[in-house]
Amino acid sequence: MANNTAKTYALALRNAGGDARKTWESLRETNQALATVPRLKQLLVGIGTRPAKVRKQEISKLFKGQPAQIQRLLDLLATDASVDQMPDILEGFTLLLRQEGFESVSIETARPLSSANISAILKSLNVDRRKILLEVVEEPSLIGGVRVTVGDRSYDMSIGGALDQLATNLEVRA
Amino acid sequence: MDILQQFGINGKLLIVQLINFAVLVFVIWKLVLPRLTKLMDERKRSIEEQLKAAEDARKEVEASKAAREREQDKAAAEATALLKDAKDQADRTRTELLNAAKKDADALRARTEEQLAVEREKLRAELRAEVASLTIETTRKVLSDVVKPTDQKKMVAEAAKYLKKQEKVRGK
CA atoms of B15 and B157, how far apart (whole Å): 191
pLDDT tens digits, B22-65 = 999 999 889 888 888 888 888 888 888 898 898 888 989 999 99
Residue B7 confidence (pLDDT): 82
Beta pairing, strands A132-138 & A153-158:
unpaired
Q: Which of A127, A143, A173 to mutate to test the interface with B (most CBs of B within 10 A)?
A: A143
Which residue of A lies nearest to B137 if distances are taken between CA atoms?
A: A163
φ, ψ of residue A103 to 5 degrees: the values are -120, 130
Q: What is the pLDDT of residue A172?
A: 60
Chain-chain contact of A124 with B125 (C-beta, under 8 angstroms): no
| pLDDT value at A99 more than 70 | yes
Q: Look up residue B1 and give its DSSP letter.
A: -
Q: Rounded to 5 degrees, what are φ and ψ at A38? A: -60, -35
- Displacement of CA A145 from its chain's centroid (Å): 22
DSSP, collapsed to helix, strand or coil, labels residue B41 as helix
Please choose, from the candidates A132, A134, A24, A135, the residue with its C-alpha nearest in 3D space to the C-alpha of residue A69. A24
Give A32 to chain B, closest Cα distance, Å: 26
Contacting residues of A for B151, CB less than 8 Å apart = 144
Instruction: Note whether B138 contacts A: Cβ–Cβ < 8 A.
Output: no
The domains of chain B are located at 2-171
- ipTM comes to 0.72
In the predicted model, what is the mean pLDDT of residues A98-126?
Answer: 90
Q: Which of B140, B156, B162 has its CB closest to that of A143?
A: B140
Q: Which residues of A touch B (CB under 8 A)?
A: 109-111, 113, 117, 120-121, 123-126, 140, 143-146, 148, 153, 155, 157-160, 163, 166-167, 170-171, 173-174
- Domains of chain A listed by start with CATH number: 4-97 (1.10.520), 101-173 (no CATH)
> Is the CB of B167 less than 8 angstroms away from the CB of A145?
no
Which of B128, B136, B163 lies at the smallest CB-CB distance from A155? B163
Question: Which is more confident, B131 or B114?
Answer: B114
Percentage of chain A modeled with pLDDT above 70 = 97
For residue A155, list its beta bridge partners.
Answer: A148
Q: Which of A53-57, A113-117, A168-172 has the lowest mean pLDDT?
A: A168-172
Q: Shortest CB distance from A125 goes to which of B153, B155, B163?
A: B163
DSSP string of B112-158? HHHHHHHHHHHHHHHHHHHHHHHHHHHHHHHHHHH--HHHHHHHHHH
**Rounded distance between C-alpha atoms, residue A122 and residue A144, angstroms:** 19
Contacts of A89 (CB under 8 A, 6+ apart): A2, A6, A9, A10, A13, A27, A31, A73
**A2 — pLDDT class (breaks 50, 70, 90):** low
Question: Does residue A174 register a pLDDT over 70?
Answer: no
Answer whether residue A137 shows pLDDT above 80: yes
- Neighbouring CB atoms inside 10 A of B158's CB total 13
